[in-house]
Amino acid sequence: MPAVTAVVTGGAGGLGAAIARRLHADGHAVAIADVDGTGARELATALDPGGGTARGYTADVADREALAGLLDAVLADFGPVRVLVNNAARTQAKPLFEITPEELDAVMAVNFTGTFHACQVFGTHMAEQGYGRIVNVASLAGQNGGTATGGHYASSKGAVMSATKVFARELAARGVTVNAVSPGPQDSPMVRDIVGEQNLGAFQRTIPVGRLGDPAFVADVVALLASPGAHSVTGACWDINGGLHMR
In a domain, residue 247? The reply is: no
Overall number of domains in the chain: 1
Predicted confidence (pLDDT) at residue 149 exceeds the cutoff of 90: no
Q: Tell me which residue range forms the domain holding 105.
A: 5-240
In a domain, residue 204? The reply is: yes
In a domain, residue 161? The reply is: yes
Q: What is the pLDDT of residue 2?
A: 62
Predicted confidence (pLDDT) at residue 231 exceeds the cutoff of 50: yes
Q: Provide the mean pLDDT of the chain.
A: 96
In a domain, residue 246? The reply is: no
CATH number at residue 9: 3.40.50.720
In a domain, residue 142? The reply is: yes
Number of Cβ within a 10 Å radius of residue 7: 29
| Residues above pLDDT 90, as percent of the chain | 90
Predicted confidence (pLDDT) at residue 1 exceeds the cutoff of 60: no
Q: What is the pLDDT of residue 74?
A: 98
Tell me which residue of 43, 46, 135, 148 sits closest to 82, measured CA to CA. Answer: 135
In a domain, residue 172? The reply is: yes
User: Which residues partner with 34 through β-bridges?
Assistant: 58
Each residue of 154-200: pLDDT tens digit? Answer: 999 999 999 999 999 999 999 999 999 999 999 988 788 878 889 88
In a domain, residue 93? The reply is: yes
Sheet (strand 132-137) strand order: 54-58, 29-34, 5-9, 81-86, 132-137, 176-183, 237-240
Is residue 57 annotated as part of the catalytic site, yes or no? no
In a domain, residue 153? The reply is: yes
| Rounded-to-integer distance, Cα 143 and Cα 41, Å | 34
- The active-site residue out of 153, 167, 213, 239 is 153
Tell me which residue of 128, 139, 230 sits closest to 177, measured CA to CA. Answer: 230
Each residue of 232-243: pLDDT tens digit? Answer: 999 999 999 999
